[in-house]
Amino acid sequence: MTWRNWAGNQRTDPRRTVVARDAGDVVEAVKGAERDGLRVKALGSGHSFTAIAVPEDIALRPPADPGLLLTDSTTGLVTAPAGLPLHRLNALLWERGLALPNLGDIEAQTVAGAISTGTHGTGATHRGLAAQVRALEIVLADGSLITCSATEHPEVFAAARIGLGALGVLTHVTLQAVPAFRLHAVETAMPLPDVLSGLDELVAAHEHFEFYWFPHTDIAATKSNNRTEATGPTRGRVAEWVGDDLLGNGAFGLACRLGAAAPRLVPPINRRMAAQMAAAEYVDRSYRVFTSPRRVRFLEMEYGVAREAIHEALAGLRAAAARHARAVTFPVEVRFAAADDIPLSTAAGRDSAYIAVHVYRGQPHEAYFGAVETVLAGLGGRPHWGKLHTQTAATLRERYPAFDGFVAVRDRLDPQGRFTNAYLDRVLGAPGRSAR
């Protein structure tokens, strides 16, 4: 059966698909691949825009049964099957009085897919999802099943937290959760010059802060989320439908189609959408505030730059958008995260700012993305592993101090390239050969 990702820009016809019920099924699938000389790729929910998860031979769906979820309310440790979608995990944790401390802006990904590609949220003192990992159960290329942590196979654990699917197939992931909490969300439109001049203060004043800039406008839609003990104000079902479905997806989809058909209308469309999409205040469960539905399909590129480079990055991006984003109605998303110690994390060793650009699916994106990439790569930017970019092992090695160490672990665990594909060969180099 043909496999397609969510955006529809990646597709393939794997030789066979295996749906694993447990770790034993994964072991058998990997041993079968070794016997037949085939490659294996674990499938998530297809929310990567790159070909990182494209299965060339065997498509393997890891265990996803929510009945396999284990939680410890005393320690906050949560062990989830790797294929469990985050939206299921978030709801189950809430029922047990727990929550993840930070999330990205969608929850459709699987647990393994989210950590393996470096999914992050926003918050100057918060790190990405992979930094919450405390242990991993992984099937290696020889079919062996190991558990790794900071004390057990520590070199594998260090790399596999963001492993790109290159080290093996994750079957279970242990995460550090926290007591369930609510967030107070405030969404408001501000003049872009005011946001930029007061950016450090805005980021420092809120636990989670981000903003969206609509090309061809001087408007920024800001969103700040802070923990609260309050239970209101709340959004009723009608208000939630208006915000998420009508304005967030229905009207926005219409705006994208109209902008693609009549680019001269994009500036007024963007001004109107910026004002409408940033006018809300509410309190809700943390995961409901962190995440939003995404029903308008698009292509995306995102780079992480050193926090101190954000103003230079945005200046270059705005110039690139003025030249190449004439028909772009999608906003630019800007977020922030704290440094971590994960070898292939985009925030490895540095506090980071993230800039993501999008285009409506079906619109040309090459010139716009290419111009933005030139700016961000020139500032030492690191591309999100699951979002479009043109970098190779040769260019990425310069940006990750631990790059060669990761490749060495990969070559030791998978010398025959059982878990590789064309994308991984491009960004890591082919197994067993120098990526230089």
The string of pLDDT tens digits covering residues 367-403 is 999 999 999 999 999 999 999 999 999 999 999 999 9
**Does pLDDT of 238 surpass 80?**
no
Give the distance from CA 373 to its chain's centroid: 18
Residue 213, CA atoms < 13 Å, CB-side half-sphere: 23
Q: Which tokens belong to 146?
A: 């190991």
The answer to whether the CB of 131 falls within 8 A of the CB of 340 is yes
Q: How many CB atoms lie within 10 A of CB 315?
A: 12
Angle CA 388–308–188, to nearest 5: 75
160 or 236, which is more confident: 160
Residue 241's pLDDT band (cuts 50, 70, 90): very low
How confident is the model over 120-130, as pLDDT tens digits? 999 999 999 99
Residue 142 has pLDDT above 70, yes or no: yes
Q: What is the mean pLDDT of residues 421-432?
A: 95
CA 156, 157, 163, 165 dihedral sign is positive
- Give the model's pLDDT for residue 435: 41
Residue entry with tokens 């001049």: 197
First to last CA, the chain: 36
Structure tokens at 319: 């110039």
- The answer to whether 212 and 331 are in contact (CB under 8 A) is yes
Q: Closest by alpha carbon to 338, among 296, 361, 384, 307?
A: 307
Check pLDDT > 60 for residue 259. yes
Per-residue pLDDT, 237: 56
Share of the chain above pLDDT 70, in %: 95
363 versus 130: the higher-pLDDT residue is: 130
Q: What is the pLDDT of residue 434?
A: 44
Q: Which of 82, 78, 72 is nearest to 22 (CA)?
A: 82
Strand order in the sheet with 16-19: 16-19, 58-61, 40-42
Higher pLDDT pick, 434 / 155: 155
431 or 254, which is more confident? 431
Residue 170 and residue 116 in contact, taking contact as beta carbons nearer than 8 Å: yes
Residues 168-196, mean pLDDT to the nearest whole number: 97
**14 upstream amide cis, omega within 30 of 0:** no
Give the mean model confidence (pLDDT) for residues 5-10. Answer: 96
When pLDDT is cut at 50, 70 and 90, the band that residue 433 belongs to is low
Is the pLDDT score of 204 beyond 70? yes
The per-residue pLDDT for 350 is 98
| pLDDT in the model for residue 75 | 98
Report the alpha-carbon distance of residue 409 to residue 65 in Å, rounded. Answer: 30
329's CB contacts (< 8 A; 6+ apart) are 214, 252, 255, 256, 258, 259, 260, 266, 269, 270, 273, 360
Q: How confident is the model at residue 263 (pLDDT cuts 50, 70, 90)?
A: confident
Quick one: average pLDDT of 13-30?
97
Q: Poorest-confidence range of 170-179, 321-330, 370-379?
A: 321-330
Asked if pLDDT for residue 247 goes beyond 60, the answer is: no
pLDDT of 242 > 70? The answer is: no
Average pLDDT, the chain: 93
Confidence band, pLDDT 50/70/90 cuts, at residue 256: confident
pLDDT at 436: 38
Residue 40: its pLDDT value, please?
Answer: 98
Is the pLDDT at 69 greater than 70, yes or no? yes
> What integer pLDDT is reported at residue 244 of this predicted model?
56
Q: Distance between alpha carbon 316 and the CA centroid of its chain, in Å?
A: 23
Is residue 370 within 8 Å of 321, Cβ to Cβ?
no
d(CA 125, CA 108): 24
Phi-psi region of 266 (alpha: psi -120 to 50; beta: other; left: phi over 0): alpha
pLDDT at 246 over 50: no
78/99 Cα distance (integer angstroms): 10
What's the pLDDT band for 258 if we cut at 50, 70, 90?
confident
Asked whether the predicted pLDDT for residue 276 surpasses 90, the reply is no
**How far, in Å, CA of 207 to CA of 387, rounded?**
26
